[in-house]
Structure formats: structure tokens, C-alpha cells
Structure 1
């Protein structure tokens, strides 16, 4: 079916929702916009789906939401009556249409006799992950586009363990979703009827209280806040998202009394009007927190993304200027703190990170005789391993993290958890303050012990159909290019996760990569350096990851810059 056919089907649908009709009429003479809205179905991938709001098969709207929900309903039905009775938990963030999409999802599930537990107001993603386990549900859904721009929304699916669907489960569901040819014809039940019949239940307080009780276990040294927390100053920004209430309650019950919330960013705002991007990875997101931090003399600044699964941290340097830590740096500090303060480290303890996360964490874990496991990018793979080890007893999970500001200390949630991370990072900063050090000084001590691991990330945004083609061309070029040296560093090995092959450049010797297939290329260089290419699974971007190591910060900075420049030289021609 051509995009013109898809557009005509929508244009001819006499029951098209009024707002959709208005928006469709506004672009009816703009062929480029029409093609982009209709040239494909919005992809339902391994992480659910995410896209721009608006009319069309390639947009987030009530019809594409219903299609996804119908696929989930059929997937649950195929697993039997018990799964239907266990139901699905639904949470949502502050974005445009989030609550409406949550209710539409519940109405489609209810049409199949599947119960929906729906939060009556916005909640963090990790609370949804916990709620699935707490309510013994068959799965969960979060309506969120995480840190994407305001014009986006998304639909993330979780399994009965509270983790995002791993590839095998996602593949089975994707197959069902793709069988639904006409999203305009998906039926949805009446909300009032579902509530009267017990197929739509609103959940709030009992889940929050249970989650906060579990959150107490994140503190490694509860006595520190009692003994030394009275003067410790915290500035917190939820960046207009979902974290405000639970992060403040979590810090309060941990004993932190001086928590200053950035007032301009405290309330939910689907436009994220005070930031260019509601992403704690972006330093501009901390501008207001830094200004407030200087006024109150804050010891730490913490910021969460809109659905509260990512945490960023900034701390003062020796000149009183606030420095934003990278996800790799914060993860390394958390990991070292958890392992150093653990009273009895298990012999089978394990730390889990992704293939694009710094090797710094592996060095720290090894120092404490703890094994490290690498997974593909995406926290669902870490959650999947936690579940596997819980079942087999092979390893005891101690910490999981990824460079993109995702952390998990306690496995009562099975997705990255910024609420947990906020409490842990604040205690961590107080711990080092009591010892007379800032987090930057503690980090420098780790570098001196293990080597100066430095990383960087560059993202190239390429929108629309042409953007997809350019991203494919870049990946194809690097796959075909027989690189032997980059920035004066020999290429030792190439790892192509799409073909599950790893080969040694010098000898041609090959081995099989045992991780699931994924469109990722990693080049392993000499002297513990590397770079990696990966198309984003949630945004129209291709990402270049870089990692270097040396015995000094200056050498690592120089090596990192040379590596970035060498790769940048390839891009203009592509």
C-alpha cells in the first residue's frame, strides 16, 4: 500500500476524531508532510513505539495507540485466561495526550476482557515497573517519550517481571501488531462500563507506599544523614516531569531535610518550557538548578528526566562552580560506593553494564573481585539478566547501569530508576563530604587508582525517510570499510552485532557474539580504546560512542579528541 492509499483511507474515514480531522486538513496540500505521516506504520519495536504526535500511520495518535493496545490484548489472550485476569498496569507522564492514550489503551484491553490498573495521575516509569510486580500483573505499559522533544509521545511495554519486553517476547508481540492492518477499525469499550465491571481499576496510594518502603533499602549508611545530614544542601529539578513527589519523599525518609526544588521546573509541563531539552544528559537542563545551587550553597544538584528513569548530577568544584557528571562517571562513583560499603560481598556478585558503557566500571568491579557482564544497549537487557539470575541463582545482582544516565541499585524495579538513583547519589555525596572530599575529588581518586577512562557521545539527527536512508548508508559504509588504524591507534577487532560476528583484524580469526542481534558496530582499538556506531532505537539519530584510557587526564583528553576528529573526517562524504 502506498502512502497515498493510506492517506486516502484516513481522509475517507467518516468517524475520524475531530482533532485528527482538523490536523489532517491542515497538511492536505503539503505532500512532503503527508508522505512522512503515512509512508509507513509507526514501528512497534523491541522498546514499544515512539513518535511525533499527529494524524497518520507514522504518528502517535489514538488510532496508532489502539493498534498497539490491540496487539498487546491479542498477545495476552493467547497466553490464557489467567493472564487476562492478572491484568495490565498502565502509567503515563505529563506529555500531550498521555492520560488520554492511557485510557484508550485500557478501553481496548477492556474490550477483550483484560483488566487494566491505571494510575489516576502521572507516575515515574520505575514505579510502573515496580507496580507490575507488586500487583502480580501480566504486564505493564507506560505512555511516555522519555526525554524526547514536546511533540513526541510513546508506548512502552513491560512483561510480568516489570522489565521492558526482551527481544523474544517483543518479537512475538510485534508479529501480532503487524497483523492488524487497519488501526481505524480497532474497537474500544466504554470507560464507564469498564469501571462498573471492575475491568478498569484506578491505583495510587497503596503502590506508592509499597514502593517507598522498598526505597529505604537503597541507603547503605542510614546513620550518615542522622549524624551529618542536618546542613547538607540539595537542589532538585524534576524538569517538569513525574519525579517531584516521590523523589522528595524518598529523600525525606532517608533523612535529608534541606531539599530545595527548582520552583520554575517543579510542575508538570508538556511543553518543557524552561529547557531546550528535558534531558539531564544535556548540561543546559541544569542552568536553573545551578543558579539556585549557588544561592543556597548546594552540595549536590540532582535532575530527573520527564518519566524519571534517568538521573543527572552536578557538584561544585574547588572554585565553587558546578560540574555536571557524565553517566559513566556517576555510575562509577555509585558502583565503587556500593561495593566498598557492602558488608559482605557475595562470591557470585555481578555488575551489569551495556557494551557502550565505560570500561571504568569493569575495572572498579574487578578491584573488588566482582564480575562484570556486558549486555546490548537498552536497560531491558539488564532487566532480563536480573530475572535470569534470580531464577538460576548463578549470580547475585549488585548494580546495573548504562552511560545514558540509567542506574539500578536494588532490583525491586526492573528498569532504570532515577528515584533510587537520586537517593543513592545524595547519600554518596554526603558520605564523601563527611570524609572531606567532593564527588569530583572522589572521582579523581578512582581515576588515579584505575586509569583515566574518558568517554564521549556524538549524535547526528537525521529526520524522516531520507534520514533513515542516510543512517543506513553510514552503517553500511563502516561495515564495508576495512579499517586497520584510526587516530594513530591500531584496530584490534571489529564486533558486528547485526551478524553476531567478532573478528580479529590482524589474523582474521572469528568468533560468535552470543548477545541478541542488533544494528551495532564496535571497533576495539589498542590501549583499551574503542568506538561504536548505533542508530538510536527511540529517535531519528545515529550515535557515535568513544572510549579511551591512559595514565593521565591530559593524555586521555588528547586521545579522545583525536579519535573524534578522525571519525568526523568520514562524515561529510556520507
Structure 2
């Protein structure tokens, strides 16, 4: 019962003063209390993420300690405690405090930590794990969630987010922590004196920037392109600026109103480059200076968005699929040696546009489940086996990896490369929109869309479960005027063919995802978010013209939305 958990917290005599005060503020609000205590904040395969505040289902120093205790047990179980853990954090409320709490718990167990002195991008943490050869890594971040959220992401010794088997092990250790209020944490000053809490900064920056030089494909091309960049109040400003400068880009304007870290993200409704409103200030500045390309990164700098002026001077924000296709085609067209065993790695909800481009350059494509940890896992596997050579990895949600010196999506790398792609086409008198149109004419008009339905709290979780069960059991044979060819159910790892009824195994880990494969290379997919109270609907359409693809896309969405509205 949630009331027992609430009373346990209420009666805890050593409760943090701020949390105690916040708890008193909601003591007469039963619904808020239930939501804060009805479960433990779930530590899943992507770590944990939630609203700040008191309660077992909230982000606070006690739930952070619970996660850190699980991590400490995991590291000790691996026999790697002497190698320590690298820790980074973003610009959110309590991020640095949570980073230090994590180090204090690790230090209690004799595990050294290496903590950045100030906020850093998530991909730099991934790099730091590899550079320092630590046993694991942690980033305190909630990515592009609203200001009231924070999170804890765990990384393995390869610098990637924990893949399923490792995540399952750590989740088990976290869940064994019976009372988060009683987790021991050592004194910060004592840990510093004992060498168990080590502060890191510029040396890692310098090493990362040196590796960043390898992202440039054609260093000698003219870089006469005007850029405007916004870090959206997050972590990316310094590394993106320095990276662009060392790559030869001299005309880079910064949106100063959004350049400073701000946990309220006060100039945007959402600090997410996927949301076009996040570009509003960059567009205003871009128009004022006649910029050729606008760049935006999310708060922890693992996602990057780009916008380009059209023929009327209005900036068009590219989708993640479009930006990925442009970068992929550029890499394969202009890299000095594309190996015969080159490989594109993308997720199952990423556009098939990339596969067609890869096919045209005679390299393979591998699909993974949604989540960059699966891409990172495959990079490591193929580095060890030599079976394939990684060329590019991306997902539709603005996440890209160009060079695998990091093992997570890297907005800094992406910003450097898309700037080079933009400069290359400008030298030919073209924009990225012109280049994209050429790719469409060559390969077909692949258009995609995403809808997120937010359903918060316990009732929301129940509704998401109902939606998945309905679509799973409904026997859908048509959507948007297109026949269903096959249904892929990743919870059972099976692909069912509608005509003939044959089934086959899907060689991917289990996940609560449904994908409907339609005729004519169209599809739609349902996936509950692992880190947010949302269910996401992905759509893909393809035809010989933009107009026809747009019609197919709208028809697909209408079919799904009609069913969804009947359910909720």
C-alpha cells in the first residue's frame, strides 16, 4: 500500500530538510501522495527518469542513492571496482547534487569516481568512460524532458548504455535495495582526501576534441557557410563551438539568450530540437544574418536538429530521418575508402530511406530495437569480430553517431558533420533542401511522422497497457488503404505473415513494441516509452511523389487515431 510507504518517509527522522518541507506541502493531497509513493521509480534498461520531489516514485537524493547502491553492487560483482566510475551531469535542478550523491555511495563501497567539475554533454561521458577505462559511467540528465524532471543513465565499460543482459543484472541489484532511506553514503571531503572522488575536466575535453577531428571527411573544402547555433540552455556550447572552429568554420553565431545553462529552459516550451518551436530564436537570428544553416542541440547534447532556408527565405526544420539520410549519403559518397563490409546501423522505427541509400553504395544495413544502446552494442560486437565495419548509426529521434570513439548518440559529432555537408552543397550552389530533393528523386519519397500520446500516473500506465493489448489482439488487416503484409511483435520476437499465416523468429531482444508492415514499403509502429509516461506511434510512407506520400501518411494516421480515440 502506498500509504505505508508514505508513512515510512514521514516518520524518517533524518529526512532531508527540503524533501521534508515538500512532503508537508502535499500531505493533504491524496492523489499527489499516491502518485509519489504507489511504486518505486522504475530503474529500467535506460536507467531511471522521473519528476523531482519526495517519494519512492520521484527523483531525489534517496532514490539516487538506491540506484547508486545497485551500481556499486554491479561494479563489484563484475570485479572491476578498482577501475572506478565516470560521472557527468547536465544543467537541470539537482544534477550536480545527484552526481555527488552517486559518488558518495560508490565511495562508501571503496569504488573511486571521476566527476566533471561542471556540466558536460552525455557523449563526452561515453568518451570519458572509454578514455579513462573506467568500469562504468553515469550521466545525471533527463534529456529534453520538462524542467521538473531529472534522471540517471548508466553506462558500461565500453561507454555504451547498458544492453539488456547487463541492464537486467543491474536492475536486479537496484531492486534488492529494500530501503532507499538507509543507503550509506560516505563524506565528500573524506572521499576527496582519500582519492575516491576525483574531479576531472579540461584533459577529457582536449582528448575528445582531438578525436572529433576524425569526423571531418573533406578537410580541404571551402567552409564559407554561415551558421547559427543554439545549445537550448544545455551542455553543448563549448564543445560545439570549439569543434566547429577547429574544423575551419569561422562564421558561427550563437543564440546568446539560450547559450547559458538554465534549468527552467525559460525561452522554450520544450528544449527539444525535435519540436520546431525550439528553433524560434535561432530562426529570428538566422534571418537577421542570412544564415545558411541553423543547428540546435538538446540539454544533454545527444540530439541535434538542423534547419535550412527554403527558396522563400523561410527556415525548414529537417526531420531526424532527413538529416540522417543527408549525412549517410555524404559519408558514403565522399569517404576515401568505403569498405566492402561497411555497415549502417539504424533502429526499427527509423526510415527505410537509409537502407535504400546504403544499398545504392553496396553496404549493409542492420536494424536494432529503439535505443542507441543497441547500436553501441553492435559496434562493439563487430569491432571484436571484424565481420562488419561501422559507417554510421542513427535513429529518427535526432540521434546520430559518426565515429565510434563515443558509444552513444553524439550531437557534437553530428553538428560538425552536417555543417560540412552544408558547406559542400553550398559550394555547388545548393542548399541541404536541394540535396534532399535530389535524394528523393533518386530513391523515392520516404516520409515519416511521429505522434506521442502522454498518459501520466497509474491510470495512464493502465491505458497504455490497454492500447497495446488491443492493437496486439485486434487482427488488423488494413491501414490507410494499405494491406497489412506482416505484423512484428517484439514482445514474442515473432513476425507473422497475414497471407498464409506463416511465422518466423525476429533475432532481436524482447521489447513491448508492435510494428505493422504494409504493402508498398509503408508501415506503422507502436512503442510505449521506457523513460516517459507516453506511448509513441511511428508512421512511414513511400511513393514516387511527395504528394502521394503525404496522402498515404495522413491516411495511416487517421486509421490509427480512430482506433486510439475509441480506446481512450
Q: Report the TM-score, using the length of structure 2 for normalisation.
A: 0.99
Deviations 1:437-475 (A, max 9, x none): 100000000000000000000000000000000000000
Instruction: Tell me the secondary structure at the aligned position of residue 527 of structure 1.
Output: helix
Deviation at residue 347 of structure 1 after TM alignment: 0.8
Query: Residue 116 of structure 1: which of 113, 120, 126 is its match?
Result: 113
Aligned to 2:104: 107
Q: Select which of 431, 441, 446 maps to 2:439.
A: 446
Q: Is the 8 A contact 2:147 2:265 kept in 1?
A: yes
| Residue 132 of structure 1: aligned partner | 129
Aligned to 1:179: 176
Partner of 1:57: 56
Q: Do the aligned partners of 2:529 and 2:535 also contact (CA within 8 Å) in 1?
A: yes
Counterpart of 2:238 in 1: which secondary structure?
Answer: helix
Equivalent residue, structure 1, for 2:152: 155
Q: How far did 1:573 drift?
A: 1.4
Matched, 1:503 2:496: yes
1:373 to 361, 366, 390: 366
- Name the CA distance, whole Å, in 2 between partners of 1:514 and 1:304: 33
Partner of 1:48: 47
Please report the RMSD computed on the Cα atoms of aligned residues, expressed in angstroms. Answer: 0.5
Equivalent in 380, 388, 399 of residue 387 of structure 1: 380
1:136-215 pair list within 5 angstroms: 136-215=133-212
- Distance across 2 between alignment mates of 1:485 and 1:173: 41
Which residue number in structure 2 is paired with residue 36 of structure 1? 35
Instruction: Measure, in 1, the Cα distance between the counterparts of 2:78 and 2:382.
Output: 24
2:84 to 83, 87, 96: 87
After TM superposition, the structure 1 stretch with the greater mean CA deviation from structure 2, 557-566 or 64-73, is 557-566
- Structure 2 residue 430 is matched with structure 1 residue 431: no
Deviation at 1:434, TM superposition (A): 0.4
SS in 2 for 1:270: coil
Of the three residues 511, 514, 521, the one matched with 1:521 is 514
Q: Residue 538 of structure 1: CA displacement?
A: 1.2
Give 1:344 deviation, angstroms: 1.4
Q: What's the TM-score, normalizing by structure 1?
A: 0.98
Structure 1 spans left out of the alignment, 5+ residues: none
Offset at 1:195?
Answer: 0.4
Q: Secondary structure at the match of 1:570?
A: helix
Q: Distance in 2 between matches of 1:188 and 1:139?
A: 19
SS in 2 for 1:4: helix
The equivalent residue for 1:473 is 466
Query: Residue 244 of structure 1: which of 234, 237, 245 is its match?
Result: 237
Q: Which residue among 520, 531, 535 is the counterpart of 1:538?
A: 531
Q: Secondary structure at the match of 1:213?
A: helix
SS of alignment partner, residue 483 of structure 1: coil
Question: 2-side partners of 1:507 and 1:24: how far apart?
Answer: 59
Q: Distance in 2 between matches of 1:85 and 1:252?
A: 38
Cα offset, 1:486, TM superposition = 1.1
The aligned counterpart of 1:457 is 450
Q: Match for residue 561 of structure 2?
A: 568
CA deviations over 1:374-430 (Å, ceiling 9, x no partner): 000000000000000011111000000000000000000000000000000101000
Query: Are residues 1:4 and 2:3 paired?
Result: yes
| Secondary structure in structure 1 of the residue aligned to 2:28 | coil
What SS is found at the alignment partner of 1:534?
strand
Gaps of 5+ in 2: none
4+ runs deviating over 3 angstroms: none
Aligned to 2:338: 345
Residue 571 (structure 1) shift: 1.3
Question: Which residue in 2 is equivalent to 1:25?
Answer: 24
